[in-house]
Amino acid sequence: MRKTILGLALAGTTAAVLLTGCSMEDASCGGGEYGVIAVGSTGTACVSDDQDPPKGYARYPKGKEPEHVGDKWDVYWETHTVDENGKIIKAPDEG
């Protein structure tokens, strides 16, 4: 009986996650934060929603913000960055 109840509870939890669209992926930043990219390199950081990016960092261009580790934009920004004017450029080789 205990196994049946545990199995039903686990199945219900799994169904709830799938039906509500919750993601099991790692978020790029925590709640209350947004991601920024280092100007001229591929470095990244997370900044509190109520703060401006620190010196040497910029917000990602609108619509091109990574949301989860390994998503389309996270992978894109591994080889691209922004210059001091906010223009997207190929990232310099780090090696």
- The phi-psi region of residue 70 (left if phi > 0; otherwise alpha if psi is between -120 and 50; otherwise beta) is left
Q: 3-state DSSP call for residue 12? A: helix
The per-residue pLDDT for 2 is 57
- How far is the C-alpha of 49 from the C-alpha of 35, rounded, in Å? 9
How do residues 10-26 score in pLDDT, each as one tens digit? 555 444 444 444 455 79
pTM: 0.70
